[in-house]
Amino acid sequence: MVMSWFWTLCVFVSLMYSMPNGTLSAVSTAATEGAGLGVELCISMAGTLCLWSGVMEALRQSGALDTLGRLLRPMLGKLYPQHQSDEQIMGAISANLSANLLGLGNAATPFGIQAACAMAKHTGGVASDALCMLVVCNTASIQLLPVTVASLRSAAGCESPMDILPAVWLSSLLSVTVGICAAKLFAALERAR
Amino acid sequence: MNLLTSAAVPLILTLTALIALSHQIDLHSALIKGAQDGLTILLRIVPNLICLMTAISMLRASGFLDWMAEICAPMLKPLGIPPETLPLLLIRPVSGSGALGVGAELISTYGPDSLIGRTVAVMLGSTETTFYTISVYFGAAGIKKTRYALPAALCADLTGFVAASLAVRIFFG
Read off the pLDDT of residues A98-150 as tens digits, 9 standing for 90 and up: 999 988 877 899 899 999 999 999 888 899 999 999 999 999 888 998 989 99
Range of the domain at A76: 46-192
Instruction: Tell me if B39 sits within 8 A of A15, measured CB to CB.
Output: no
Residue of A nearest to B127 (CA): A141
Look at residue A183 and tell me if it is in a domain: yes
Task: Identify the CA nearest to B42 among candidates B119, B113, B104, B128.
Answer: B104
Q: pLDDT tier at B1 (50, 70, 90 boundaries)? A: low
What is chain B's mean pLDDT, rounded? 91
Q: Which of A154-158, B142-146, B153-157 has the highest mean pLDDT?
A: B153-157
Structure-model confidence comparison of residues B156 and A147, the more confident one: B156
Amino acid present at A193? R
Domain annotation covers residue A148? yes
Q: How many CB pairs under 8 A join A and B?
A: 346
Is residue B2's pLDDT more than 80? no
- A67 within some domain: yes
List pLDDT tens digits, range A162-188. 899 999 999 999 999 999 999 999 999
Number of separate domains in chain A: 1
Q: Is B140 on the interface with A (CB under 8 A)?
A: yes
Categorize the per-residue pLDDT at B36 as very low, low, confident or very high, splitting at 50, 70 and 90.
very high
**Pick from A21, A116, A126: which is nearest to B63 by CB?**
A21
| pLDDT digit string, tens, across residues B84-119 | 999 999 999 988 888 999 999 999 999 999 999 999
Interface probe for B, chosen from A89, A153, A180 (most Cβ of B below 10 Å), is A153
Domain assignment present for residue A130? The answer is: yes
| Within-domain flag for A128 | yes
Q: What is the pTM of this model?
A: 0.89
State the complex-level ipTM.
0.89
In a domain, A104, yes or no: yes
pLDDT of residue A159: 87
Dist CA A151 CA B157 (whole Å) = 23
By the 8 A CB rule, do B162 and A170 touch?
no
**Cβ within 8 Å of B, A 5-64:** 6-7, 10-11, 13-15, 17-18, 21, 23, 26-27, 29-31, 33-35, 37-39, 41-42, 45-46, 49-59, 61-64
Q: Could you give the percent of chain B with pLDDT greater than 70?
A: 98
Tell me if A117 is assigned to some domain: yes
Q: Distance from B7 to chain A by nearest Cα, in Å?
A: 10
Q: Is residue A6 part of a domain?
A: no
